[in-house]
């Protein structure tokens, strides 16, 4: 399997890097800010010249971009270079305008119309993004967040989205990496298990408040990777700094 290098620590614990042609699930609890790790991984992969699509689901896009900057990630620079497109499902759902020319919306936006409209928008994005050697470099999509998508569009469509990214690589003979951010506390256990089973790699971030010592700790559990030599391991969050 080919991989994207991200950082020495993360690559080591995943067994060599992030699989180019697969699904990376980053699951976390509500206090851990685990989404921050996913955004930084997305940024590191975009830095390698990969075509990107950001699925904005949970908040208005302006707020999502602010959250990105909190994680020291500037998505707008990739948009200005026509290397990143935003599929703004929040704006689509709540009838907001596109933020700029690199932002795409789906209208009408409903669970019933989503699959067909998504395919139409995906074709437009493919025509407009400027990425050299895309067959070699591949494509990466970040869904922020899968639990928000689950609640807005339903379980069946959330499963369709996960499997759709898998099918895209088979259909186009192109490396397509899907990164899914998921608050484990915000979806039923059965759905989490479904995505866990499909994913090629799974990272789980958990938090713990130690009241006696007045300390807040975060741990990263590398739960799954299909790369040879991988072994499940839990490490302090501080070991996985990605800058």
Query: Which residue segments constitute the domains of the chain, with CATH numbers given?
Result: 3-207 (3.40.50.300)
Model confidence band, residue 148 (pLDDT cutoffs 50, 70, 90) = very high
The Cα–Cα gap between 204 and 182 comes to 9
123-140 residue pLDDT tens:
888 888 876 666 667 889
b/e sequence 105-144, b meaning 16+ C-beta within 10 Å: bbeebeeeebeebbeebbeebeeebebeebeebbbbbbbb
13-53 residue pLDDT tens:
999 999 998 899 999 998 888 999 999 999 999 999 999 99
The Cα–Cα gap between 12 and 109 comes to 41
For residues 223 and 204, is the Cβ–Cβ distance under 8 A?
A: yes
């Amino acid at each position: 399997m080919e991989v994207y290098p991200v950082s020495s620590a993360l690559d080591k614990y995943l067994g060599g890097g992030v699989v180019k042609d697969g699904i990376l699930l980053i699951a976390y609890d509500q206090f851990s800010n685990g989404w921050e790790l996913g955004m930084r991984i997305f940024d590191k992969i975009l830095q390698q010249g990969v075509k990107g699509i950001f699925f904005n689901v949970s908040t208005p896009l302006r707020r999502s971009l602010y959250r990105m900057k909190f994680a020291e990630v500037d998505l707008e620079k990739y948009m200005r270079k026509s290397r990143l497109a935003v599929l703004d499902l929040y704006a689509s759902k709540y009838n907001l305008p596109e933020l700029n020319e690199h932002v795409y919306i789906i209208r009408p936006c409903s669970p019933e119309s989503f699959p067909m409209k998504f395919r139409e928008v995906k074709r437009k994005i493919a025509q407009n993004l400027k990425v050299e050697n895309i067959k070699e470099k591949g494509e990466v999509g970040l869904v922020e967040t899968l639990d928000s998508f689950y609640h807005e569009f339903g379980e069946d469509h959330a499963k369709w989205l996960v499997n759709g990214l898998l099918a895209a690589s088979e259909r186009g003979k192109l490396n397509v990496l899907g990164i899914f951010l998921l608050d484990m506390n915000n979806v039923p256990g059965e759905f989490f298990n479904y995505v866990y089973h499909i994913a090629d790699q799974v990272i789980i971030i958990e938090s713990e408040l130690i009241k006696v010592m007045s300390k807040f700790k975060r741990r990263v559990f590398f739960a799954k990777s299909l790369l040879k030599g991988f072994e499940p391991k839990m490490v302090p969050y501080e070991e996985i700094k990605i800058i």
